Chain A
C-alpha cells in the first residue's frame, strides 16, 4: 500500500501518539501534518487542504465531536474523510461520531496495520 502524496492531518494532544502516526504514515509515503489542539488542527486543515484527517476526541480546547463537523466542511459537500481515533468506546459516542460525519472510528489502543487498513478503505479513489 502506498499513500504517496496523500496529505494527512493528525489532531491529537498526546505527542507520543503523533510521533508513531508520523513515523508510520510518512513511511507509507504520506505528507504528514500535525496539531495538538482542535482549533490549531482546524486552521492547519484550512491551510494544507488535506485528503484525510485523523482526529482524537479528548482535545484540550474543544471536544473532537464538536470540531468534527467544522473540519468536514473544509471540502465541498462535506466530503473530507475524517477518521476518529479515541479511547472512548461507548456505543453512543461512536454513533454520535458517525452522525456528525466521521468516516471511520478506531478505538485506542490499536496496531498500525488496523489504521492503515481503515485509511485505505476510507480514502477516496486516487
Chain B
C-alpha cells in the first residue's frame, strides 16, 4: 500500500491557537496533503475554565468545517498522547509528515530553563521521521489559575463535610492512640499522628477530588498544630522538628489532593463517556422502535435530555411550508431573539451554530442541523447550562446525536411515505383489477348471448336451422343471461351490503323450504349435476332472512357446480351444530388448496387471479360471507376427508322438532328461543 502522508496540527487552549489552524491549512494547500487536528484531552482539561473548553470546542468545529480531520485522544499527558497518535498513524500507513505545534513566549526564569513542550515532542517523534514545525504564539501559554483549578463553583457541601468528618476521625484515632501510650512515649509518637491525618487526606481527595482534599489537608494541618504541637491548645510552632513535620504533612497532603483531583476528573470523564455510549445505544434502540414521528420525537426528547442532562428541542419544517421551521417538540423552548438568529442561521446554512461555534450570538443554546443523505430535515437545539463541563468531544457527541436523530426521523418518514404510496398503488391496482374483472365477467356472458343469437338468426334466415341446433343456441343464450343476471345481482348486493343499504328481515324459517326454492331456481344450472338432499332426523325452524339465505345457498351451490366435474353429485345436509343450525354443501370437485380456505371469501381474492377463472359469480362467496355475518351466522369451508370441498352455513338461532312432528312440542330450544321473533338487522 502506498503511504499517504499527512499534516497534523496539535492545538491546546491557548487563546491564539487559531493561528495554528491557519498555518496547518496553508501548509496543506502548499503540499496538497490532507491535514488533521489533534487535541489531547488530559485530566487537566477538566480543570480548564469554561471559556477555554469552549474555545477548544470551537476550534475543533472550525477545523472540521474547513475540511480537516479532527481527532481527540485521551491520554494522561500531552506528549504521550501525541506520540501514541503519531505512532498509530505511522502503523496505519498514513504517517505524519509535518507536525505543527504552538510555542508561547517563555516568561520567567524557570520557564527559560525548561525545555518547551514542542521541543520535547520533537525529540519523541523523531523516530517516525516526522518534522515538527513550531509556530510562535504571542501571549502566555494558558495555564489554569489556582482559583480555576479549585472549581469552587462546583463544590458540594457533602464533599466538604466528608473532608471534615475524615479529619475528625483521624483526630479520634490519634486520641485513642494517646490513651494507649504513656506520657513520655506519646511525646516520641507525636509526629506519627500526622500519618492518620495524611490517610484522611488521601481518602478524601481520591474520593471527592481537589477541593475536598485541600480542605482536609488544611483542617488536618490546623488540628495537628492545635492539639499535637507545642504550644498545645494554640496555633504556633515552638520546635523546628515540628515545623518540618508539619511542612512535610502539608506538602504531601496538597500534592495528594492535586493528584486526587486529576484522578477524580479523569474517572468522572471516563464514567461519563461510558454512560454516554450506553445511552446512545439505548436511544437508538428505543427510537428505532417508534412507528411514527411524534412517538420517535418523544422518545428522543426524553432519552437525550436525560443523557445530556440538558434541555433539548426539535425544530422541523411544518408540512405545508418546507422552508420554514417550527418548534415541534417539546411544546415550549425559551429562546431569546439572539437564539432565534442562531437557529435560523443553522437552518439556512446547514451548519452548527450557537454555543461553542465560531458564529455565536452569545447563546447558551447550541443548534445542530438534522441532516441526512437527502438533505436537511430540521434542527435540534441543545441548551447547555453554564455549570456543565464541556469536554472536547462534546461537539462531536452532539453532531453524532443529531445524525442519529435525523436518520431515525428520516427512516420513519420514509417508511410512512412508502406505506402510503404502497397503499395507493395497491388501491389503484385493485381498482384496475376490479374494473377488468367486472368487464370480463359482464362481457363474457354477453358475448355468448350475442354470438349464439346472431348464429341462430343467420342460420334461420338461411333456412338451415334445425330444431336441435336452435334449442342448443337458445339454451346457451338463456343460461348465459341467467349467469349475467346473477353476476349483476351480486355486484349490486355487495355494494348495497357494504353501504349498509340492505335491511335484513329475519324470521323463523323452515330450511327445507329454502332448499325447495333453490332446486326450482337452479334447475337449469343443475342439468349436469345431481343435487342430493340429506335430511336429518329432526326438522328445524331457523331464524334467518329467507331471501338473503336463498341467495347465499344459491351462490354456494353455484360454486359447487362450477368447480366439480359434470355428472358428479352435490350433497346438501341439514343438521344441528354448535347449538345452532347448519347447511352443509359438499361437492366432488378437487377441493380448495389449504392456503386458500380463508381467501375464497375475500372479495379481492378472485380479482388477484387472472381474468380467466370460471367466469360468472366471482363475488358470490364474498357476498355470502357478508350476508351470513349480518345474520350473526358464519360461512366456512373445509376439504372433506372423502374429497371435495364442504361449505358450512351456520345460523345461531334455531328450534328443532322430532322428525315429522312439525310445530309440536319442541324438543330442544336454543338461546335464540324467546327472542323477539321478527328482528331487523341492519
Contacts and interface: CB of A to CB of B under 8 A. Distances in A.
A125 interface: no
A63 B455 CA distance: 27
Contacts, number: 82
A13 interface: yes
Nearest to B448: A16
A113 B461 CA distance: 13
Contact of B447 (A13, A17, A27, A113): A17
A111 to B, nearest CB: 4
B451 A21 contact: yes
B612 A60 contact: yes
Nearest to A64: B612
Contact of B449 (A23, A63, A109): A109
Nearest to B613: A60
A17 B612 CA distance: 14
Shortest 9 CB-CB contacts between residues of A and residues of B:
A108-B447, A111-B454, A16-B448, A109-B447, A87-B443, A109-B450, A58-B612, A24-B455, A20-B451
Interface in B464-482: 464, 469, 472-473, 476, 479-480
Contacts of B444: 14, 17, 87, 108
Contacts of A113: 454, 458
Contact of B440 (A17, A23, A58, A110): A58
14 contacts: A14-B615, A16-B448, A16-B479, A19-B472, A23-B469, A23-B472, A60-B610, A60-B612, A87-B440, A87-B447, A88-B436, A109-B448, A109-B451, A112-B455
A21 B610 CA distance: 24
A87 B439 contact: yes
Contacts of B615: 13-14
B140 to A, nearest CB: 83
B612 A59 contact: yes
- How many of chain A's residues touch chain B, expressed as a range? 20 to 34
A8 to B, nearest CB: 15
A20 B474 CA distance: 10
Nearest to B615: A14
Nearest to B452: A20
A87 B454 CA distance: 18
A24 B447 contact: no
B612 A13 contact: yes
A10 B458 CA distance: 20
Contacts of A59: 612
Contacts of B473: 19-20, 23
Interface string B602-642: 00000000111111000000000000000000000000000
A60 B562 CA distance: 14
A20 B444 CA distance: 13
Contacts of A16: 445, 448, 452, 476, 479-480
A17 B448 contact: yes
Nearest to B440: A87
B609 to A, nearest CB: 9
B448 A24 contact: no
Contacts of B613: 60
A16 B616 CA distance: 12
Contacts of A88: 436
B443 A109 contact: yes
A109 B455 CA distance: 13
B347 to A, nearest CB: 48
Nearest to A19: B476
Contacts of B479: 16
A106 B588 CA distance: 37
Contacts of B417: none
A20 B612 contact: no
Nearest to B459: A27
